[in-house]
Amino acid sequence: MKIQFTKMHGCGNDYVYINGFTQLIPQEKKADFVRFVSDRHFGIGSDGVIFINPSKEADFEMEMFNADGSRSEMCGNGIRCVAKYVHDKGLTDQTRFSIISGGKIKYMDLTVENGVTTLVKVDMGEPILQADLVPVKSTNEQVVDEEIQVLDQTYHMTCVSMGNPHAVVFWDDVKNMDIEAIGPYFENHERFPRRTNTEFVEVTDRAHVSMRVWERGTGETLACGTGCCATAVACVLNGRTDRHVTVRVLGGEVIIDWDEKTGHVFMTGPAEFVFDGEIEY
């Protein structure tokens, strides 16, 4: 079976995108397909695979898989790329539309120049802070600056869900940290019933932070859109930044606004095509 695909990235967070309107892969085969495609040595190479499907609830559906074949509810960089894909490839001529992922509808606002999408602003909705909904095991209703024991060390984390779980840990020197040595232990810690994405964040000033991320099911990635959102929320909750924050990741910058009136988090960032191709599966 030959499958057509598009490789895209948002700040280096790269996925393989499949047009689910025309490329039909049986649901029971998708996890194996994703593992095959995502392999950077024997496949195409990516942080995962995203299927762009028709939807009755929204204009489009984003069906996201991590590189290990597990499902994920939301991907901030991924949803921006889906928005660019459906517009620039002619699935819609609108610059404002909706995408559903993991049962949650998000709204896109595209900046288009000469028919090409250059930036995508996403209304990510309100962050989820209730511990059992993140989910994270805690005796507190919310997990803000709470201790966690990892590898016999004590860290402080703030937990946020942006449709998927995040643990934000403030760090003094993210550039030189050994994320490979600690990331997996956060991801699979017993306090996270569905595992977690972990953001290690260094605050520069009230409007700028640097972040590295360990994503569940994938490992370190160059960016994580929902992680940028969670980072900004955690920074505000801990009094470290204002509500407008530029998050510097390894692959670029994402701008986050946590609107005080609506409580919604808005994410603005780039989305880029890499190449189109066809793979035998």
Q: With cut-offs at 50, 70 and 90, classify the pLDDT of residue 213.
A: very high
Same domain, 248 and 182: yes
Report the pLDDT averaged over residues 190-215. 98
Per the domain annotation, does 58 fall within a domain? yes
The rounded distance, in Å, linking the Cα atoms of 249 and 159 is: 19
Range of the domain at 108: 2-121+269-280
Active site (annotated) includes residue 75: yes
Tell me, what CATH number does 177's domain have?
3.10.310.10
The rounded distance, in Å, linking the Cα atoms of 15 and 81 is: 9
Residue 158 main-chain phi, psi, to 5 deg: -125, 125
Q: Tell me the pTM.
A: 0.94
| Contact (Cβ atoms closer than 8 angstroms) between residue 258 and residue 241 | no
Nearest alpha-carbon partner for 222 in 13, 10, 8: 13
Per the domain annotation, does 97 fall within a domain? yes
What is the residue type of 234?
A
Same domain, 240 and 158: yes
Same domain, 257 and 135: yes
The rounded distance, in Å, linking the Cα atoms of 189 and 161 is: 16
Same domain, 114 and 158: no
Tokens of 176: 């030189």
Residue 31 main-chain phi, psi, to 5 deg: -60, -45
Per the domain annotation, does 159 fall within a domain? yes
Single out the catalytic residue among 11, 81, 159, 224: 224
Single out the catalytic residue among 75, 81, 159, 229: 75
Same domain, 103 and 145: no
| 3 HSE (CA, 13 A, CB side) | 25
Q: How many independent structural domains does the chain possess?
A: 2
Report the pLDDT averaged over residues 232-256. 98
Same domain, 226 and 245: yes
Q: With cut-offs at 50, 70 and 90, classify the pLDDT of residue 281.
A: confident
Per the domain annotation, does 126 fall within a domain? no
Q: With cut-offs at 50, 70 and 90, classify the pLDDT of residue 43.
A: very high
